[in-house]
Chain A
Amino acid sequence: MFEFLLKRLAQIVPTLIFVSMLIFGLQQLLPGDPAKILAGEEQDPTVIAYLRTKLHLDEPLPVRYAYWVGGVLQGDLGESVRTQQPVLELVLQKLPVTLQLATMAMTIALVIGIPAGIASAVGRGTVWDTVANVFALWGISTPNFWLGILLILLFSVQLGWLPASGYVSPFDDLGANLASMIMPAFVLGNAIAGVLMRHTRSAMLQVLSSDYVRTARAKGLREPAVVLKHALRNALTPVITLGALELGTLLSGAVLTEQVFTIPGFGKLIVDSVFNRDYAVVQGVVLVTATAYITLNLLADLAYFLANPRLRA
């Protein structure tokens, strides 16, 4: 166990080094001169020259990489050239928002997707099946920004029940926080629910036709017990894997949804920073997200390890 953990931890270091090089290298492929973008409307040549020196743009790539990594190792992610805010502060401002949105969206997706998948598999060929499939198709094929704008028009402009956009911290006002997050979480969750429903359905169909389920039924078990206790547990394995992947994607930010609802999360920050060529911010945020991804992966591996005795041998 300890050895396994040590091995996995040792693998993190080269992975992170590779990721940091990748982030740094890929950014250099972006067209345009960051100093010019940051110099604004006036394009004053002295300002451009100053920014070039400040950002070390005159130095060779490896030197610039060393500057950045040197800072990161000392806990300094640099600062946004556009707003002068430290990147670490930006990340800490946005991390809780992204975490909350991802958790809420995932909860909505699970609450809708899995029961719908079960109902559709159990009632295969019935009206329920059709309804659930239509719902899944709708969820998968509806563009997030379009659904978002429609929800705003209905619930904020017409009915006036929910705020159109913006974010309130749960520590300031929990009610207002939930009111501001429910629509974006639903938009994101709705899309994932469709995917989860389709996977739950096909996994359930497979399991329901297996021998042990027939045995359970033959024993005289009641149908709900057969479906929920015996079949579902086995059918969920692929669904959990998929759900974890979707959660990872949510954590790296949901650009369009954040844009429509003006939720200040990672997605909006990265996209805006790429367009403004605010390299330090892009590097910092991607590094943090990548670290989170790798950590989640490690935790998942540990969970498998604990859950499946065969791996321990």
Chain B
Amino acid sequence: MKKMPSRTLLAALLLTASAATQAQALRVGLAEDPDVLDPTLARTFVGRLVFAALCDKLVDVDEKLTIVPQLALSWAWSTDNKALTMKLRPGVKFHDGEPLDAAAVKFNLERHKTLPGSNRRGELAPLASVDVVDPLTVRLNLSAPFSPLLATLADRAGMMVSPKAAQAAGDKFGSKPVCSGPFKFVERVAQDRMVFERFDGYWNKAAVHFDKITYTPIPDATVRLANLKSGQLDFIERVASSDIEKLKSDKKLKTASITEIGYQGITINIAKSDRAKQNPLGRDARVREAFELSLDRQGLAQVVMDNEAQVGNQWVAPSNTFYAKNMPVPKRDVARARALLKEAGVPNPSFTLVTPTTSDAQRLALVVQAMTRDAGFDVKIQAAEFATSLNMADKGDFEAYVLAWSGRADPDGNTFSFHACKQPLNYSGYCSAETDALLNQARTLRDVAERRKVYEQVAAQVLKERPVIYLYHRNWLWAYNAKLSGVQQIPDGLLRVTGLKLAP
């Protein structure tokens, strides 16, 4: 009898101890397995999610997409907008103990520009040279004014890796990355897990409340959710939109729904290849207008995304600072669509819509097919595996193509490569000297109001020609343990791990 209390005490102690050990690890479920963990070579969205724990950037974006300090404390543009001087945070160390100073920043930006296979070279094209002004000051010299530079530095191009480790590892750096983020790399087992542990020398150590963080790729949304519900994971990204309603009533879990900076749209071949001239949709802007007018965007968002999307008609969402208010979302108007088709002399235009094989894209294509039939369109659907569809898009071997873009914080990242002549992502073949001039002008301006005015003109030009019909902006859907606090909802869809805390 006497032993009972001590046993209870022991059990209680053990329980607390195990709870404490568990609270020290954060377990995140990802929708895909990331590619190489080298900021210079990295290519995927999901890789950016993991970098948020591993590699700090010169600057970051907040919930409103405003640029905020991270490794750089402050910055100033030269009067001609051709040089950006950045003051670095003092005392920052890389995971290998090397100092993060102006020389390290210069090394990194030059590595982005010169490493064979670098995916950052294009983003940093206007960067001509980097000067070390003093140990904590760098000056970025541009060949021409380029206002999206700061937003670019808030992504992989602004991530700093240890020069010593990078030089030693060469192009194998990604298999054991050394950065300066809150967590350092421990191990990676392909398609199974990535394990990082707390970096004791982190400059913002007080905001890190976990000893360890594990990222587990689980491609199936149902299985990902089951892992969260059974307590195997603390956080999952990209919850299926059909599950979110049910989750809201689950007291053990919390959800977040953040409108993306990217978009879902339909790209139309208007001049990419001869196929553009062979069908009425590519040949005649009136047919494209009729196509757009026959779509009910809210209906699409409801059926395809369970309303977890913000409808829109531009490269940025209507809530974005750079949304062109002179070009509002058009309402569905079947009568007007029919009239336009009659005017164009093709009352029943027929074309093929290529879609990726994901279930969302397929659903989207089916609803589009049904909606546009009311106006007289005959849409044929062709599902193509990603590699195949990419090839078709690049060769212009398509009439219309369901295509999404993960988005960039600056509107330049959502427009230039898509609508400027001969750019790599310009699958529609749209090319206009006037639009090119405007897109280039927007790059030279720093004042938001002035830039917005330019983008209004771009919108007026581009949306009239309809190389892309923008449909909606999906919501990033997250679900997590209700005990997890400090989740920042940033529209780039990347989970920031500093400030996260798991209550016992």
Contacts and interface: CB of A to CB of B under 8 A. Distances in A.
A and B bound?
yes
A260 interface: yes
A54 B491 CA distance: 36
B175 A85 contact: yes
B232 A50 contact: no
B119 A157 contact: no
Interface string A5-46: 000000000000000000000000011111011111111111
A32 B227 contact: no
B43 A31 contact: no
A277 to B, nearest CB: 6
B216 A262 contact: yes
B223 A152 contact: yes
Nearest to A260: B223
B420 to A, nearest CB: 14
B256 to A, nearest CB: 21
A261 B230 CA distance: 13
B65 to A, nearest CB: 19
Contacts of B89: none
A167 interface: yes
B425 A149 contact: no
Contact of B227 (A43, A164, A167, A268): A164
A275 B35 contact: no
B33 A272 contact: yes
A47 B425 CA distance: 14
Given A152-B223, A165-B223, A277-B387, A82 B36 contact: yes
Given A51-B117, A156-B226, A163-B232, A260 B220 contact: yes
A42 B190 contact: no
Given A84-B171, A269-B190, A42 B116 contact: no
Contact of B226 (A31, A157, A269): A157
Nearest to A50: B117
Interface string B20-41: 0000000000000111111001
Contacts of A85: 175, 188, 190
A41 B45 contact: yes
Interface in B198-228: 216-220, 222-223, 226-227
A259 B36 CA distance: 21
Contact of A39 (B37, B43, B192, B216): B43
A47 B390 contact: no
Contacts of A43: 394, 424-425
A149 B387 contact: no
A153 interface: yes
A47 B118 contact: yes
Nearest to B417: A42
B117 A156 contact: no
Q: Chain A contact residues (Cβ within 8 angstroms of B): what range?
A: 35 or more
A152 B226 contact: yes
Interface in A149-192: 149, 152-153, 156-157, 160, 163-167
Nearest to A33: B391
B231 interface: yes
A40 B43 contact: yes
B493 to A, nearest CB: 13
Contact of A42 (B37, B223, B387, B424): B424
A41 B217 CA distance: 20
B229 interface: yes
B473 to A, nearest CB: 17
A226 interface: no
Given A80-B190, A83-B175, A84-B172, A44 B121 contact: yes
A36 B226 contact: no
Contacts of B189: 93, 264
Interface of A: 30-34, 36-47, 50-51, 54, 80, 82-85, 90, 93, 149, 152-153, 156-157, 160, 163-167, 259-262, 264, 268-269, 272, 275, 277
21 contacts: A31-B391, A32-B387, A36-B391, A39-B119, A43-B394, A43-B425, A44-B119, A45-B424, A50-B116, A83-B188, A84-B175, A149-B222, A149-B226, A156-B226, A164-B227, A165-B223, A166-B192, A166-B232, A262-B192, A262-B218, A275-B386
Given A47-B118, A90-B190, 13 more contacts: A31-B388, A40-B44, A41-B44, A42-B43, A43-B394, A44-B121, A54-B117, A85-B175, A93-B192, A164-B229, A262-B216, A264-B189, A275-B387
Ranked 9 nearest A-B pairs via Cβ: A40-B43, A32-B387, A264-B192, A156-B230, A43-B424, A164-B227, A44-B122, A31-B388, A50-B117
